[in-house]
Amino acid sequence: MTSDALLNITKEYGSPVYVYDAHKIEAQYNRLTTAFNSVKKLKINYAAKALSNISILKFVNSLGAGLDTVSIQEVKLGLHAGFKAKDIIYTPNGVSLEEIENVTKLGTQINIDNLSILEQFGNKHPNIPVCIRINPHVMAGGNTNISVGHIDSKFGISIHQIPHILRIVENTGMHINGIHMHTGSDILDIDVFLYASEILFETAKNFKDLEFIDFGSGFKVPYKEGDIETNIEEFGEKLTARFKTFCKNYGRDLTLAFEPGKFLVSEAGNFLTKVNVVKQTTSTVFAQIDSGFNHLIRPMLYGSQHEIENISNPKGRERFYSVVGYICETDTFANNRRISEINEGDILAFKNAGAYCYSMSSNYNSRYRPAEVLWYNNKAHLIRKRECFDDLLTNQIDVSLEQKKAIANT
């Protein structure tokens, strides 16, 4: 998308506003399917939690993707957006047996990630097929916030507990149709991922009626200059070869599934904000924007670096700025970053704002959540209105205690 198109969107819809480029989502989807095009049965399930606007879900559905969900509400959003129940997989963590049962009533594939629920579910519903989430204990990436495969992670059933799983399956007579892992958010090193895959293949051999193996996600996209990006093409080639060997030994062609979130939507997103104040202190120049971690929490939560471009003055002389927000809390987006000269009223574009940005936003400081716009065929489509004052009051029950007291006293 051009800067002019982005600037026009802020003129039409105001700021702050999230903008998603549908063509970029499509290009990423095609890149992934191309990298695995020699796999007979491939299933790409988009991880809804990355960006769950129903227009995005519909668009991703139109590309041929399925949906990866982590809550019954996401399952319902997926169904609402037109996904077939059988094209949705539900991979929760730490939810109640009741929620899992309710999801199976919707016809969706479930994925269980602990022994306790596996046993209870197997006893009650031995005929409903279940996928099992395995924890191969492989570290992907270095940040413990996003590496969920290591030894003390809360996700998945440890590979050291396979004998226990097998005992439950045998005792309950339940039907395991899939094996799953999701090791974390960064496949920095393809070999580490392939190593984890070998563990998954080994595990899969224990189950005779599998229909699919789900490798989760972890595809890395570059956030800042010099960032490593997963080499999808090389990864596709190497994993495909191993998968084919596995299927040959297994005696059947299984479906190879992935659940990318960030890979599909991160780079498609721009978050556009306006500079309210340029504040020079004795040591720093702050650019204070009309947003905060209530709208984009990743920098404060994960230390993520989103590239920031001054699209109002792209050719200006570069200077150092700390970009901060307007909420009453430390909400730093960037520390002493080189950005072309900023004037009050300029529009700053945050890159990589598609994944885990809007979906993690809140009303903190009683601010409205931003509008969302989808860019498609050179046109902007509003896909979510900016919130308004009434939205802040929705669900609140106005209990006027003084009045109650007065009534009680009469």
Ligand X SMILES: *Cc1c(COP(=O)(O)O)cnc(C)c1O
List 19, 39, 47, 75, residue binding ligand X (CB under 6 A):
47
Q: Which is nearer to ligand X, 16 or 149 (CB)?
A: 149
Please check whether residue 83 is in contact with residue 108, taking contact to mean a CB–CB distance below 8 angstroms: no
How many residues in the shown chain lie near ligand X by CB under 6 A? Answer: 18
Among candidate residues 101, 143, 141, 145, the one with its CA nearest the CA of residue 123? 101
Considering 131, 247, 328, 357, which one is annotated as catalytic? 328
List 10, 109, 135, 185, residue binding ligand X (CB under 6 A):
185
Q: Provide the b/e sequence for 210-228 (b: ≥16 CB within 10 Å).
A: bebbbbbbbbbbebeeeee
Considering only residues 55 through 74, tell me which ones interact with ligand X, judged by CB under 6 A.
68, 70
Q: Which is nearer to ligand X, 55 or 91 (CB)?
A: 91
Is residue 92 a contact residue for ligand X (CB under 6 A)? no
List 31, 43, 49, 386, residue binding ligand X (CB under 6 A):
49
Helix (H), strand (E) at residue 376: strand 371-376
Residue 39 in tokens: 């796999």
Active site residue 328: yes
Burial class (CB in 10 A: 0-12, 13-18, 19+), 131: buried
Task: Tell me the closest approach of the beta carbon of residue 185 to ligand X, in angstroms.
Answer: 4
Considering only residues 248 through 307, tell me which ones interact with ligand X, judged by CB under 6 A.
259-263
Considering only residues 198 through 237, tell me which ones interact with ligand X, judged by CB under 6 A.
216-219
Task: Tell me the closest approach of the beta carbon of residue 116 to ligand X, in angstroms.
Answer: 19
Q: Which stretch binds ligand X (CB under 6 A): 25-33, 47-55, 202-210, 286-294?
A: 47-55
Q: Which is nearer to ligand X, 221 or 371 (CB)?
A: 221
Q: Provide the b/e sequence for 330-369 (b: ≥16 CB within 10 Å).
A: ebebbeebebbebeeebbbbbbbbbbbbbbbbeeeeebbb
Which are the contacts of 294, defined by CB distance < 8 A and separation ≥ 6? 325, 327, 331, 361, 362, 363, 364, 365, 367, 369
- Residues annotated as catalytic (active site), given as ranges: 328
Interface positions with ligand X (CB under 6 A): 47, 49-50, 68, 70, 91, 182, 185, 216-219, 259-263, 355
